[in-house]
Amino acid sequence: MKPIGIFYGSSTGNTKTIAENIKANIEPMLVDIYDVKYVKINDIEMYDNIILGSSTWGKGILQADFERFLYDILKFANLKGKKIAIFGTGDSSIYPDSFADSIGIIFEALEGKGVTFVGEFPTKGYKFDSSLSIFGDKFVGLPLDDDSDEQQNKLRITLWTELLKFDLN
């Protein structure tokens, strides 16, 4: 497997912890983790396999550092031919109409940049009303809920990372 770069934005530390759990589940020696607050274009361009993670704040707002990263760094980075997986956090009980919208916002921003998206995840088992992260009948990445569905996160991360081991070859 080629090296993987995980790039996350985290205000409370939850998304950072998830990034670390993803790294531990894949192959720690092949995965580097970056806080997007400190990332430059060349940091992301050196990876063929990229995992992006951001929380969703309120009604569909990206985490502040990740929003800057998305529009100031990712928008200008050469991502052609790279494989990208996305994970995001949200609160399905307080914001059921915008659950984990960050995944969909990132997905839409990177469409047309020549990337291959990997890591779709089924919606079964989630309780929410609406999400920008659903395309077709699946999430385009891994949504996690640390507030209302934390007991499912460990299993979902395990399942998703097993899928990524195959897709990020």
DSSP 87-98: EEE--TTT-TTS
Q: Please give the average per-residue pLDDT across 74-95, as a whole number.
A: 88
In order of their start, the domains of the chain are 4-167 (3.40.50.360)
Indicate yes or no: pTM above 0.85: yes
Q: Please give the average per-residue pLDDT across 151-157, as a whole number.
A: 88
Identity (one letter) of the amino acid at 86?
Answer: I
The 10s digit of each residue's pLDDT in 30-79 is 999 999 999 999 999 999 999 999 988 877 788 999 999 999 999 999 99
Angle value at C-alpha 37, between 35 and 38, nearest 5 degrees: 80
pLDDT band at 128 (very low <50, low <70, confident <90, very high): confident
Pick from 163, 169, 152: nearest CA to 86: 163
